[in-house]
Structure 1
Amino acid sequence: MEAHEHPQQTAISEIGEFGLIAHMRDTLGEPEADSVVSGVADDAAVYRVDDGQVHLLTTDMLVEGIHFDRAFMPLEHLGFKALSVNVSDIVAMNAAPRYATVSVGIPQNTSVEMVETIYEGLDQACGAYDVTIVGGDTVAAHGLTLSVSVVGAAAESDVIYREGAQVGDKVCVTGDIGASFAGLKVLLRNRERLEEEGEDFDPKLDSYSYVIRRHLAPPAQLKAIREWADAGAQPHALIDISDGLAAEVHHICEASGVGAQLYEPALPIDPETRNVATDFGEDVSVYALFGGEDYELVFTMPEDDLDALDPQTYNVVGEVVTPDDPDDPVLLQRAHGENVPLQPDGFEHFDDSPPQQ
């Protein structure tokens, strides 16, 4: 009998999350429906629903052991975060969230009260973002899993994509960055100490309350886009920080066909984040550039247009430029003056390393 040859299989870790998404996009092809404005290429899909009006649709999933650890993730915070990260995708295209569906994979060791606590967190997020949960699903699962979809709405002319950055724009960031990763570092260290010391362990987390909160319950920046609308200002390009500032700026540059010059001293970093990096003997700029899960917004805007915004609500971290080398479109000027290529090495969901949490 003639043996059948099996095609060579490629490990997902070889191409990474964004390589996998590119393969999915190639397999599906471009959407043929005239009503689809934007598909896989941005933070959310965009489709027309009426004359001049669009809906935006996004889905995100949190999986136990990959995205969270129940040893230090309060279930109420988990519910809040699950909705918040999806709202952030809608906000990252300058739209308002409206409705959500929530599906929960429930392992056998989960009680009714635990599920209720998750939904209390979801309800808090609904109140914070003016979102209504309209449905979902529950299934048995090996590990606790939350999958949330959010629908947003906007005028088609108000939607902002990654691809609009123009040479001469300033690269700006709302809030501070690196705090979520700092919070994760503290929580992981305390989990290790708890395992080593048992009942004698005293966590003493008061001095880290801000970074821990930023990791466990990161807020979506809905307030920022509302303030832009009130000011009559609109960025050229927009994205949220889920995988780290370096990765997100690369996404904008790739989509827009431009480069960026960033400045390390301009990175907005909270003092508590700096204290964590000092405690661990690490470079706090690594937290800010590659940490991820801050869910702040990165946007590009002409300098003159920034005058309409409250200067307390954003920080200029660089500028959009014509790249000298297309293979290295993003440069970072270090604090000591050296200008180096900045690689997009944010968090990869399909690498071969152990899960972050």
Structure 2
Amino acid sequence: MSEIPDAQPFTPVSDVGEFGLIDKMKAALADAADARDLVAGIGDDAAVYRVGAAGSDGPSRVHVITTDALVEGVHFDRTYVPLRALGWKAIAVNVSDVAAMNARPRFATVALGLPNNLSVEGAEALYTGMAQACERYGLAVVGGDVTASARLTLSVTVVGEAEERAVVYRRGAQPGDLLCVTGDLGSAAAGLRVLLAGKDRMTAGDGAADDPPQPDLTGFAYAVERQLMPQARLDRIEAWAEAGVRPSSLIDVSDGLASEAHHLSQAGTVGAVIDAGLLPVHVQTALAAQRFDERAEAFVLYGGEDYELLFTIPEAEASKLSPDTYAVVGQVVEPKEGVALRLPDGNRVPLEAAGFRHV
């Protein structure tokens, strides 16, 4: 009689976190996560593989490929997210990953999980938003899949292209480099906070049936738009190319500045100091923090979904860029200094790698 095998251990994903889980999945894949023409696999904003060798036609070319999923109840709530905006966002967040490799998007495929409560008209609005984003970023949707699903899900894959020598990775930062971002941070988190408050008002149940309460978005149009329809920063990629500048490391701010700074630190084996006094905060982010009795710095460091670009660059190279296209938020330091936040009084406090949680 054969023995009954021991029960499999059960480790909650929350015990290891999203990135710990990715590490374990990569280990499980082993050689299946590698290939002859692969330049960079799991561990950056996108994978990179060669599609053409250097020769008389010019330098070698690579494709960058990335996939992101948006799941109802995890990443969005149809109570306050218009379907056209959701379609835009599904494309834009993937384009942002391509931009974070210093590449340009070319093609996309879309897998749609369709619940019973999504109408044909709703699906059309969703794809109208995708079409608008594709026109904005210069790519085409060339295929995909549609299947029944318990909740609305969108999984988008985008393929981009670049010269191999132009690609920028998370690794590469050197002590002394400036730590920079392409725009303000925290506004998407502020916009989400405003939308959630609006949802609470709508579902509170007060008001006549023919005159239900409406969310109060007055004064927060910019922050709300940053949450609903983020902008991938291809414009900055193009500006760098025109200026002949290539950052030493690069990542998009999807999970919050603190988390992304840790990614650059770990990938490049360096430390990073972020100056609290240099954090680029939009006035609406500050007003939202005041309204909800929160700190604007928390939106910046831990809010996520801004999809700006965090990059490092030598100071001499940064001087080639227009000063209104980026903000210096700190500096790369020796690895022994870790990742820290420098307060206005000069004291440093360790900065945790916390941020937006996807799992």
1:106 aligns with 2:114: yes
Letter in 2 for 1:202: Q
Is contact 2:198–2:214 with CA below 8 Å preserved after alignment?
no
Give the one of 93, 116, 119 matched to 2:124: 116
For the residue of structure 1 that corresponds to 2:15, the secondary structure is helix
| Equivalent in the alignment of 1:9 | 10
Q: Residue 98 of structure 1: CA displacement? A: 0.3
Letter in 1 for 2:263: H
Q: Percent identity?
A: 50
Structure 1 outlier segments of 4+, above 6 Å: none
Letter in 2 for 1:77: A
Q: Residue 33 of structure 1: CA displacement? A: 2.0
Letter in 2 for 1:333: R
Aligned residues: 347
Q: Residue 200 of structure 1: CA displacement? A: 4.1
Distance in 2, matches of 1:224 and 1:32, equals 31
Is contact 2:40–2:49 with CA below 8 Å preserved after alignment?
yes
Is contact 1:16–1:349 with CA below 8 Å preserved after alignment?
no
In the TM superposition, what whole-angstrom CA distance separates every residue of 1:155-206 from its partner, at most 9, and x where no partner exists? 0000000001011100000110000000000000110111113544132313
For the residue of structure 1 that corresponds to 2:220, the secondary structure is helix
1:348 aligns with 2:350: no
Distance in 1, matches of 2:34 and 2:191, equals 44
In the TM superposition, what whole-angstrom CA distance separates every residue of 1:326-345 from its partner, at most 9, and x where no partner exists? xxx10101234321000111
1:292 aligns with 2:304: yes
| Equivalent in the alignment of 2:341 | 332
| Equivalent in the alignment of 1:70 | 78
Q: 1:1-357, aligned counterparts within 5 Å?
A: 3-30=4-31, 31-51=33-53, 52-196=60-204, 197-198=206-207, 199-325=211-337, 329-350=338-359
Distance in 2, matches of 1:214 and 1:278, equals 18
Q: Residue 348 of structure 1: CA displacement? A: 2.0
Distance in 2, matches of 1:92 and 1:339, equals 28
For the residue of structure 2 that corresponds to 1:149, the secondary structure is strand
For the residue of structure 1 that corresponds to 2:219, the secondary structure is helix
Q: Residue 323 of structure 1: CA displacement? A: 3.1
| Equivalent in the alignment of 2:56 | none
Q: Residue 273 of structure 1: CA displacement? A: 0.4
Distance in 2, matches of 1:249 and 1:9, equals 31
Distance in 1, matches of 2:214 and 2:160, equals 44
Q: CA RMSD in A?
A: 1.1
Distance in 2, matches of 1:116 and 1:200, equals 27
Is contact 2:168–2:249 with CA below 8 Å preserved after alignment?
yes
| Equivalent in the alignment of 2:57 | none
Is contact 2:198–2:216 with CA below 8 Å preserved after alignment?
no
Letter in 2 for 1:167: P
Distance in 2, matches of 1:155 and 1:334, equals 40
In structure 2, do the counterparts of structure 1 residues 32 and 178 end up closer, same or farther at CA, with 3 Å as the change threshold? closer
Letter in 2 for 1:7: Q
Q: Residue 29 of structure 1: CA displacement? A: 1.9
Distance in 2, matches of 1:9 and 1:299, equals 38
Letter in 2 for 1:330: V
Letter in 2 for 1:95: A
Is contact 2:34–2:41 with CA below 8 Å preserved after alignment?
no
5+ residue gaps, structure 1, are: 351-357
| Equivalent in the alignment of 1:354 | none
Is contact 2:240–2:246 with CA below 8 Å preserved after alignment?
yes
Distance in 2, matches of 1:68 and 1:177, equals 20
For the residue of structure 2 that corresponds to 1:207, the secondary structure is coil
For the residue of structure 2 that corresponds to 1:17, the secondary structure is helix
Distance in 2, matches of 1:32 and 1:305, equals 34
Is contact 1:261–1:321 with CA below 8 Å preserved after alignment?
yes
Is contact 2:201–2:214 with CA below 8 Å preserved after alignment?
no
TM-score normalised per structure 1: 0.95
Distance in 1, matches of 2:100 and 2:247, equals 11
Is contact 1:101–1:136 with CA below 8 Å preserved after alignment?
yes
5+ residue gaps, structure 2, are: 54-59
Distance in 1, matches of 2:272 and 2:219, equals 35
Distance in 2, matches of 1:5 and 1:108, equals 41
Q: Residue 281 of structure 1: CA displacement? A: 1.1
For the residue of structure 2 that corresponds to 1:143, the secondary structure is coil
